[in-house]
Homo-oligomer: A and B are copies of this chain.
């Protein structure tokens, strides 16, 4: 087993990984940018190494600095978390070249699944269902023929990347040309690669993904599905397991397809095979494989009872994954809500600021994976995910009730969050009945706005001025003269 692991990430996932390390008796090294010098993940680690400026390319995306930090601190292994370099095959290779262990799949597996067009071709060959479409198109003519053949609406999307960048829905032929140009430009900017593919657009599809897990000795199984259809701007905000949509038969077939897909690229460690699911036909189509730990891994942990991060580390250290497919069962129901610093009433634009209040919910079946605390700065440099709120209960109805209560108890001041928005989502009949496609949020909540201040809010605000700050207009919470001010910083970390 490793003695020391460097975590090449920040925020909640860095802390999540460090917790697993601490339980296993492994020392932890945090890395951080100048903007993060007082972040929770830096405080949580045994050691912390400053990488450089706030810009990710100077810090969390800088391969050379990360490997030097690992070597300097005598770490044995690097865990990439999600995002940043987690799906970068060159990074994985560079880590191994430096005689360190990359906690994840092989560089080859990452490379094979990294290109959306290549991986789709690979999956087609392997007999995994994929969305009807074409890759390797070059001229506008090619695209036009392909689109006509598939039938509108179609989706044009970047071959090289994901995350909604370089992606356009085209409803009729007259829109095709402009869509291709826009998508190419976005793809070039985002991935340095303007190749596009075109495929059938499934308007009311669900996003259902299968967690797979394997070791370096050829054992590979799936840990069932996560339903991730509540999305805004092509990004997930609420995930759950089991999916309210799947029958046991389809679940089993999708699981087998995912295991088959992963075995095709000799996969080991944690990975996720994403599918598009058409509720009308119960057909599922391979979308992409994420060759890393997923943001929403906690719902699988709660439902299967397995600690995925712990197993990632043990597998990377060469251990065998001791479970057979029949050992894994789904117990109860888990839901995750991603608490973002963003404004749902204003296009989900990120919100920045200092956390003036940050009260996390507690209680049976409530888990919070958080990267922030009272007094933390939420900057514009990185992803505005404040915390993941995950609940586990006997069944879906009880889990929704538990999540409602937990969201009610989550108090964040200083930045606008999507907490109230998610509470509204959970009260809808569509959500309660599980009828939520990936486009549901934009069609249903276009006009959503938070509650307007009422009489009680007015009274509370005015009274707080009287009793807490008696006429002072400075931020009373951030009172600079209070020695126990939670964010008064004395000195800074130089390591």
Interface of A toward B, CB cutoff 8 Å: 16, 19, 22-25, 298, 301, 305-307, 310, 331-332, 360, 362-370, 392-394, 398, 401-402, 404-405, 467-470, 476-477, 479, 482-484, 490
Contacts and interface: CB of A to CB of B under 8 A. Distances in A.
A397 B69 CA distance: 32
Given A476-B483, A482-B482, A483-B476, A398 B23 contact: yes
Given A19-B364, A305-B332, A490 B477 contact: no
A307 to B, nearest CB: 6
Contacts of A468: 483-484
Contact of A484 (B19, B301, B392, B476): B476
Contact of A364 (B365, B369, B402): B369
Contact of A394 (B306, B369, B401): B306
Contacts of A394: 305-307
Contacts of A301: 364
30 contacts: A16-B364, A19-B363, A23-B398, A23-B401, A23-B404, A301-B364, A305-B331, A305-B332, A305-B394, A307-B393, A307-B394, A307-B398, A331-B331, A360-B362, A362-B368, A362-B370, A363-B367, A364-B367, A364-B369, A365-B367, A366-B367, A467-B483, A468-B483, A470-B483, A476-B483, A476-B484, A477-B484, A479-B482, A482-B482, A482-B484
Contacts of A368: 362
A405 B483 contact: no
A188 to B, nearest CB: 40
A82 B324 CA distance: 42
A484 B479 contact: yes
B476 A401 contact: no
Contact of A490 (B306, B370, B467): B467
A247 to B, nearest CB: 20
A415 B167 CA distance: 59
Q: Which 9 A-B pairs have the closest CB atoms?
A: A23-B401, A468-B483, A305-B332, A19-B363, A305-B331, A22-B405, A23-B405, A331-B331, A23-B402
Max count, chain B CB within 10 A of own CB: residue among A301, A394, A476: A394
Given A479-B484, A482-B484, 5 more contacts: A19-B363, A24-B401, A301-B364, A467-B483, A476-B483
Nearest to A393: B307
A392 B331 CA distance: 14
Contacts of A469: 483
A300 to B, nearest CB: 12
A224 B394 CA distance: 17
Contacts of A19: 363-364, 405
Nearest to A44: B409
Contacts of A392: 305
